[in-house]
Structure 1
């Protein structure tokens, strides 16, 4: 019995679907490898399973293939786009390139204009960081002032309680003395 032709539609049985996925994924990777070797081309495959697991194959570096793909897709889009859009895209590409170089601290090789742009961006970033830091400090100061005010109010209330206790203890002490004196006077009379 030979291979039978199957209808291409979603497989309902999850176990069968998983087995088919695994076999076909391996077959796809084998075909891509053969294509890369036989035809001397760069091939990259990215597959996400239903569980979200990543499977990939690259005949060379996946990063290199993706970068090449991005360059090619940008050049195709540039042909169709208006000149103003092309200028923005070129600037975005240049800024992304600068960002990658800055993140890796690769500044040698930048021309004067690019260095000025980097300096300007860094200055803006520092200003934004300082502004955010200032805002955080002001919020912290405000919180601290509110806590100080709350503590002062609590202290005043405690002082008032202490004074009240002192007054009531003086009254009680004086009452005891008056009672003692009156008891002492009544004893003398008897």
Structure 2
């Protein structure tokens, strides 16, 4: 008959617990002493009773053994490779999956890798593209309006500057080539198409007039 393992738990009775502590403590101290002698090991054992009383054993020097332990722990922690936290691993895996999904979505929006898409997915991609085009066109219109407003403001500033310069020089402000031509007064010195051109031949006293007939 195989006996099952007895579950170890705290002894509730104070007297029984104190007796057990004394027996096990002495046995532990004896084992530590035997280990140091038989195996030539450096052993240090520290025990605090439930009431805070100290019991210790050291094969050489307790202080020297503790200092050696501290140096060993420090060196071990410095050279031990740090393993990533499980939560960090999980977050990294999640971010990598999102990156892959975004890359697949980007390729589909560019018209690549559509062979495995269903009709419903193709419709969804088409709607997404139409929405993107609509947003881009609205943004383009807004940019055009802003540029037009900026040009109008620049035109106003240049016109005002032109008027100031004309006032300083005493000149008439420039109003554009087309308007200027329309407002040019008639020059009486210019030949009229209805006036005959006269050619004078000879000396001033006795010159004769010859009327040039049109060809």
TM-score of the alignment, normalized to the shorter chain, above 0.5: no
Please report the TM-score for the alignment, with normalisation by the length of structure 2. 0.34
More relative contact order in 1 or in 2 (CA 8 Å, sep 6+)? Answer: 1
More helix by share: 1
Please identify the structure whose Cα radius of gyration is greater: 2
Please report the TM-score for the alignment, with normalisation by the length of structure 1. 0.39
